[in-house]
Amino acid sequence: MHVLGGSASTTLAERVSRELGNAPFAIPFRKRFPDGELYVRVGGSFEGQDVVIVQSIRADADLVELFLLQDAVRESGARRVWVVIPYFGYSRQDRRFFPGEPVSARAIARRAELDADAVITVDLHSPLNRGIFQRPLHEASGIPAIARLLRERPVDLLVSPDKGGVDRVRRMGEILGKPWIGLEKKRIDSERVELYFPPGGPDVRGKHVILVDDVISTGGTIVESAKLLRQRGAEAVVATCTHGLFLKDAFERIKAVTDDIFATDTVENPVERASVAPDIAAILLRELAIDPSTSASVSPNLRAEVARS
Ligand code: R5P
């Protein structure tokens, strides 16, 4: 198996290859032509091989690079192409909200899976996203990676900033054996939200509260959630998310109202302290039917992860 790191996910791709017992890893050559077009080249032949391309879709250019890499890998004779899209951008437009709009998530998924035998992603935005793929889709979660870090710190209550994140926070609650709640969120526009505490919700006074979200984008959701929890007397508020986009001054604004903040490495960001590499590698091992207990080269970290799952 070979692992290729697209420019949006080089670090994570290398971590995945390490988790797979140092599977051959490469960063494709890329340059821009004078007219701005992207050029990529993958080294050597992949005749008969399983090739894993890791590339998050954060910016439009990431998509073009992904499509070119998929084509190059197919042209190089790969037996199977595994497309890992740790952060699947465009997933929030998972339905037509107004006439004339596309279902952007579906449009992107259809093209991304054209040259893929299977797609692996992490914490899709909503269950609707799962139905848009026609190829086999495997979804890892950032929740176990974040939970691994939270085991080392005080946690009294886990909080999802909205109802859409309740499944994730419930899962975190089950892993850590801690109570959880979902706040109520009203979105005003793409940058402004209002947060409400659920009627009859628990007393948060003096508690260490962990916010658990799938994506932090402008930071509006986390900032307003943290303020609400502080107003209600929380002693400490820690913000966590799977996909840390931290647009504009989001990072500074969140830091001002929380005690700590961390994210996974699905998107390169300043607080990527939890890695989803073992979770992605576990899916690849399972799908390729490699037994981690008999493969001496598989990392002990991953062996433990597969044993747990
Ligand atoms: C919303 O449904 C998501 O789960 C996130 O809460 C949201 O996308 C975060 O966006 P922002 O950081 O811009 O408030």
Question: Which DSSP state fits 65?
Answer: H
d(CA 57, CA 73): 18
Q: Which residues of 99-121 are buried (b: 16+ CB within 10 A; e: fewer)?
A: eeeebbbbebbeebbebbbbbbb
User: How many whole angstroms from 221 Cα to the centroid of ligand 1?
Assistant: 6
Tell which one of 191, 214, 248 to mutate to probe ligand 1, the residue whose CB is within 8 A of the most ligand atoms: 214
Picking from 223, 281, 289, 233, the residue whose alpha carbon sits closest to that of residue 256 is 223
Distance 213 CA to ligand 1 centre (A): 7
Q: What is the pLDDT of residues 225-268, one digit of tens each?
A: 999 999 999 999 999 999 999 999 999 999 999 999 999 999 99
Q: Which pLDDT tens digit goes with each residue over 132-160?
A: 999 999 999 999 999 999 998 999 999 99
- Give the global pTM: 0.92
Cα separation, 295 vs 289, whole angstroms: 11
Cα 108 to ligand 1 centre (Å): 20
Residue 216 CB–ligand 1 contact under 6 Å: yes
What the chain holds in terms of domains, given with CATH numbers, is 2-142+276-308 (3.40.50.2020), 144-274 (3.40.50.2020)
- Name the nearest CA neighbour of 234 among 198, 208, 196: 208
Tell me which amino acid residue 233 is. G
